């Protein structure tokens, strides 16, 4: 899935959030490890900050904020399906 400039907001889990869950987790890991936002943008989001640094930073920050929301609140809406 392509990364949107802004992830959905609000207090409900969306299809976009579900599709981006592993990306959100990678962003949280990178942040916890102290990775530079430029590296996270490049390696996690697939964006080259040198193309448009301001846009890449906005996308990184908005997705990291959504990842934090997911980790703290949104996870409650995930439905876990047991595979057989």
More confident site: 79 or 19: 19
Element (H, E) at 30: helix 21-32
**What pLDDT band is residue 8 in, cutting at 50, 70 and 90?**
very high
pLDDT tens, residue by residue, 9-51: 888 889 999 899 999 999 999 999 999 999 999 999 999 999 9
- pTM recorded for the entire structure: 0.88
Question: How high is the pLDDT of residue 74?
Answer: 78
On whether the CB atoms of residues 7 and 19 are closer than 8 A, the answer is no
d(Cα 73, Cα 68) in Å, to the nearest integer?
Answer: 8
Per the listing, tokens 């609000």 go with 10
Question: How high is the pLDDT of residue 82?
Answer: 52
- Segments making up each domain of the chain, as ranges: 15-77
d(Cα 18, Cα 6) in Å, to the nearest integer?
Answer: 15
For 15-19, which contacts have Cβ atoms below 8 Å and span 24 or more sequence positions?
17/66, 17/70, 17/74, 18/78
């Amino acid at each position: 899935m392509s990364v949107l400039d802004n992830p959905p907001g609000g207090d409900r889990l969306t299809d976009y959030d579900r599709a981006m869950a592993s990306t959100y987790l990678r962003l949280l890991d990178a942040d916890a490890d102290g990775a530079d936002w430029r590296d996270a943008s490049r390696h996690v989001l697939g964006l080259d900050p040198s193309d448009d640094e301001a846009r890449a930073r906005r996308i990184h920050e908005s997705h990291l904020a959504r990842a934090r929301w997911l980790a703290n609140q949104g996870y409650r809406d995930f439905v876990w399906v047991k595979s057989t």
